[in-house]
């Protein structure tokens, strides 16, 4: 069995490297020198740059210059001469309308991108249809962002654009085998929280049940991506995105195929891994340097993998993934069975059941096969629901949380990820009530819900609140009849968003829900404005509650 899993890992790795080349592979030493030099404050700048000539010519010229010590050389000038650097049109996002709803409707044209053209040496993965970018430094489509953006597009009557985004994601599933984090080559090694099934459901609500059958093939492929390797697992094993627990339950985890620093955050990751390595060495006893180096290399690769998996989760980064709940050097993302991911996988299985049921009705001549598939996914969903209740419910604390399958213990940290079982109707009524009570008691602030109760300097921790998680919590409350609580959450979030817009003329990526007069902060980059999912959730809440 071990050799089968090893063979599977090898084939997955080969398939990754058969994908479009990433900037580190294209530019080699030039990539490393630029990213480590710090000439651009944002590590995303160079990897999004477009070469002015054939990349091989640029690399050749760079090697010649570096090899000749007589040449006076400016790395920054070399980049400017050979690349078109990305421009962030911040001024496009400044308030021009007093009414925030009208402002958002006008913003769609600013955030909209037309079908792409392939450019040699560019990291952008061309898409065949129009799409919406989040804004600011985020100049490409993002997977889970897009669902929450679609909520606002629906309110704006932008049905064609919603369908175009879904078609783009379907294209990427067929082209690359999955929906990457975003349409950049450096994002291909990972996905994000799988909201594709919910996008299809949203489109079906607008256009009818044909959406389920139209996108069934792509949805099935996405499911196979997330479940790849499950059939080969023995109890207690994990491979890529799947984990088989002691009772035989198969659940999922966040994963990235690579174990190197993220190309778009290269310097940050090198420094994080360097700091963690120093702590690792200081806490260990090695006989000699050879023994130390032999232990250090797998430690560093593993840490890079945890950092990348944290990015795959969308929560990059949060104390949710830290063993000490404070320091990123203790990150161990891939050790967790995350409650949000597995709730989404439950939803995917339920959507596949629905889609095959629709296919049965549409094609009576092949009814037996569709009935069988619908039943299969229904059973998978039921088994996953039971496993989530068993492994992701913290009975002692009274909330849903991530399960550490390596240490075989439930996380004791309260986070808004615990609202996903309510959002997707996985939770039992009793557990839903307890979850709601503790979230309202411990995470609610003047501006809405905290992401976690910890203040760490990470952006997915206190004092920040995020639009997608507010929506998840509000919808979760509605699903279980907690209507006053849902209204309270919606009202506080909308009031905060409108107040910041009135003060700054901007709609932000994230918000400070503790001190509503201060900006949100933390993380690897300044807070961005634009902003796709904030716009979408705000429009949907204003319409739903007439706020």
Q: Which residues, other chains included, contact 21 with Cβ-Cβ below 8 Å and sequence gap of 6+? A: 185
- For residue 420 the two structure tokens come to 């996903």
DSSP β-bridge partners for residue 505: none
> Is 73 a residue whose pLDDT tops 70?
yes
> Is 24 a residue whose pLDDT tops 90?
yes
Neighbours of 361 (CB within 10 A): 11
What pLDDT is stored for residue 16 in this prediction?
38
Q: Are 527 and 511 in contact (CB under 8 A)?
A: no
The DSSP call for residue 142 is B
> Is 1 a residue whose pLDDT tops 80?
no
DSSP β-bridge partners for residue 182: 142
Asked about 478 being catalytic, the answer comes back as: no
Which residue in 316, 340, 349, 524 is the catalytic one? Answer: 316
SS3 322: strand
Q: What is the mean pLDDT of residues 150-156?
A: 98
Q: Are 203 and 160 in contact (CB under 8 A)?
A: no
Place of tokens 């630029």: 34
Q: Which residues, other chains included, contact 425 with Cβ-Cβ below 8 Å and sequence gap of 6+? A: 479
Residue 102's Cα: distance from chain center in Å? Answer: 28
What pLDDT is stored for residue 363 in this prediction?
63
Q: Please provide the DSSP assignment of 369-433 as one string.
A: HHHHHHHHHHHHHHHHHHHHHHHSEETTTTEE--EETTTTEE----BGGGGHHHHTT-S-HHHHH
SS3 141: coil
* Phi, then psi, of 385 in degrees rounded to 5: -60, -45
What pLDDT is stored for residue 121 in this prediction?
95
Residue 540's Cα: distance from chain center in Å? Answer: 21
Looking at the chain, the whole-number percentage of residues with pLDDT higher than 70 is: 94
Q: Using one digit for the tens of pLDDT, what is the confidence trace for 460-482? A: 999 999 999 999 999 999 999 99
Angle, helix 75-82 to helix 55-67, in steps of 10 degrees: 160
Place of tokens 């063993």: 323
32 vs 34: CA distance, rounded Å:
6
Which residue in 116, 163, 509, 524 is the catalytic one? Answer: 509
Q: Are 152 and 538 in contact (CB under 8 A)?
A: yes
What pLDDT is stored for residue 90 in this prediction?
52
How high is the mean pLDDT of the chain?
93
- For residue 78 the two structure tokens come to 């070399």
115 vs 113: CA distance, rounded Å:
7
364 vs 348: CA distance, rounded Å:
24
The DSSP call for residue 28 is T
SS3 132: strand
What pLDDT is stored for residue 97 in this prediction?
83
Q: Are 159 and 207 in contact (CB under 8 A)?
A: yes
Q: Please provide the DSSP assignment of 174-234 as one string.
A: HHHSS--SBSBGGGTTB--S--HHHHHHHHHHHH-THHHHHTHHHHHHHHHHHHTTGGGPP
Place of tokens 């490393």: 32
Q: Using one digit for the tens of pLDDT, what is the confidence trace for 297-307? A: 999 999 999 99
Q: Are 400 and 393 in contact (CB under 8 A)?
A: yes
Q: Cα angle vertex 422, ends 488, 411, to 5°?
A: 105
Q: How far is CA 34 from CA 24, 66, 230, in A?
A: 11, 13, 40
Q: Using one digit for the tens of pLDDT, what is the confidence trace for 107-126? A: 999 999 999 999 999 999 99
Burial of 457 (0-12, 13-18, 19+ CB in 10 A): middle
Q: Using one digit for the tens of pLDDT, what is the confidence trace for 385-434? A: 999 999 999 999 999 999 999 999 999 999 999 999 999 999 999 999 99
Find out whether the peptide bond into 34 is cis, omega within 30 degrees of 0.
no
| pLDDT bucket at 11, cuts 50 / 70 / 90 | very low
- For residue 452 the two structure tokens come to 């976690």
Q: For the chain, what percentages of helix, strand and coil (3-state, to nearest 5) are there?
A: 55, 10, 35
Residue of 423, 383, 377 whose CA lies nearest to 400: 423
- For residue 514 the two structure tokens come to 């503790």
Q: Count helices and strands (H / E) in the chain.
A: 21, 16
25 vs 507: CA distance, rounded Å:
36
In 189-205, which positions are buried (b, 16+ CB within 10 angstroms) versus exposed (e)?
A: bbbbbbbbbbbbbbbbe
Asked about 509 being catalytic, the answer comes back as: yes
């Amino acid at each position: 069995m071990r050799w089968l899993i090893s063979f599977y890992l090898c084939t997955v790795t080969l398939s990754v490297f058969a994908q479009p080349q990433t900037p580190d592979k294209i530019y080699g030493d030039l990539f490393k020198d630029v990213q480590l030099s710090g000439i651009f404050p944002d590590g995303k700048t160079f990897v999004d740059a477009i070469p002015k000539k054939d990349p091989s010519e640029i690399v050749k010229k760079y090697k010649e210059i570096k090899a000749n010590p007589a040449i006076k050389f400016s790395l920054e000038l070399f980049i400017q001469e050979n690349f078109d650097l990305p421009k962030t049109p911040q001024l496009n996002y400044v308030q021009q309308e007093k009414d925030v709803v009208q402002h958002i409707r006008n913003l769609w044209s600013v955030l909209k991108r037309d079908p792409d053209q392939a450019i040699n040496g560019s990291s952008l993965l061309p898409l065949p249809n129009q799409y919406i970018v989040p804004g600011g430094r985020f100049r490409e489509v993002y997977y889970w962002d897009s669902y929450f953006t679609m909520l606002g597009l629906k309110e704006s009557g932008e049905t064609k654009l919603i369908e175009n985004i879904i078609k783009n994601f379907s294209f990427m599933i067929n082209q690359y085998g999955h929906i990457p984090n975003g349409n950049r080559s450096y994002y291909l090694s990972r996905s994000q929280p799988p909201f594709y099934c919910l996008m299809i459901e949203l489109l079906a609500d607008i256009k009818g049940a044909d959406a389920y059958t139209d996108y069934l093939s792509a949805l099935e492929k996405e499911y196979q991506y997330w479940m790849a390797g499950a059939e080969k697992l023995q109890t207690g094993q994990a491979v890529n995105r799947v984990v088989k627990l002691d009772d035989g339950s198969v659940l999922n985890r966040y994963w990235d195929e690579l174990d190197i620093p993220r190309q778009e955050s290269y310097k940050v990751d090198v420094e994080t891994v360097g700091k963690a390595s120093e702590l690792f060495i200081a806490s260990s006893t090695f006989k000699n340097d050879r023994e130390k180096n032999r232990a250090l290399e797998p430690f560093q690769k593993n840490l890079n993998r945890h950092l990348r998996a944290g990015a795959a989760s969308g929560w990059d980064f949060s104390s949710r993934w830290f063993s000490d709940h404070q320091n990123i050097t203790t990150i161990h993302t891939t050790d967790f069975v995350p409650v949000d991911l597995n709730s989404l996988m439950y939803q995917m299985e339920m959507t596949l059941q629905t889609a095959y049921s629709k296919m049965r009705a549409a094609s009576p001549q092949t009814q037996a096969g569709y009935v069988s598939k619908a039943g299969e996914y229904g059973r998978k969903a039921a088994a996953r629901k039971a496993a989530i209740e068993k492994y992701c419910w913290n009975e002692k604390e009274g909330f849903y949380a991530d399960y550490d399958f390596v240490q075989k213990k439930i996380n004791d940290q309260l986070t808004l990820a615990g609202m996903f079982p309510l959002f997707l109707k996985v939770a039992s009524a009793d557990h839903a009530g307890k979850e709601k009570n503790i979230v309202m008691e411990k995470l609610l602030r003047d501006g809405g819900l905290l992401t976690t109760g910890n203040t760490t300097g990470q952006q997915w921790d206190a004092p920040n609140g995020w639009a997608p998680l507010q929506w998840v919590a509000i919808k979760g409350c509605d699903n279980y009849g907690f209507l006053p609580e849902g209204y309270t959450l919606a009202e506080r979030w909308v009031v905060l968003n409108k107040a910041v817009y009135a003060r700054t003329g901007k709609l932000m990526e994230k918000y400070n829900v503790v001190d509503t007069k201060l900006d949100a902060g933390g993380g690897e980059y300044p807070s961005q404005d634009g902003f796709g999912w904030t716009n979408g959730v705000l429009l949907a809440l204003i319409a739903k509650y007439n706020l």
